[in-house]
Amino acid sequence: MTNGAVTLGDVAARASHLSVECSRCDRRGRYQLARLITALGPDFRMTDLGAELANCPRRTAAVHERCDVYFPGLIATMDDDAGCSPAEA
Ligand SMILES: [Zn+2]
């Protein structure tokens, strides 16, 4: 990791898939990290990925109505170094 920013490459080194959910609509899914890297590159920041993936109809809405995509399993995935990873939410 560089500068504390988690990138697609960091996550792909630990997991093959990424779970995605939106807190404002029913959107949820799983992305293959290999495909995301092919599309966006291994240095793409996870902090930018939410906006990239939030392509539901609300994407162009006002900020407070826009999709709020998050990655429910990401912290557990990146926390695996501790040796006792919590169950994926
Ligand atoms: Zn949404």
pLDDT at 84 over 60: no
Residue 81 alpha carbon to ligand 1 centre in Å: 31
The number of beta carbons lying within 10 Å of the beta carbon of residue 58 is 16
pTM above the 0.75 mark?
no
Q: How confident is the model at residue 85 (pLDDT cuts 50, 70, 90)?
A: very low
- pLDDT for 23 equals 86
* Chain segment 8-45, per-residue pLDDT in tens: 999 999 999 999 998 888 888 999 999 999 999 999 99
Residue 57 alpha carbon to ligand 1 centre in Å: 8
- pLDDT for 87 equals 52
Q: Per-domain residue ranges for the chain?
A: 8-81
The answer for residues whose C-beta is within 8 angstroms of residue 84's C-beta and 6 or more apart is: none
The number of beta carbons lying within 10 Å of the beta carbon of residue 26 is 7
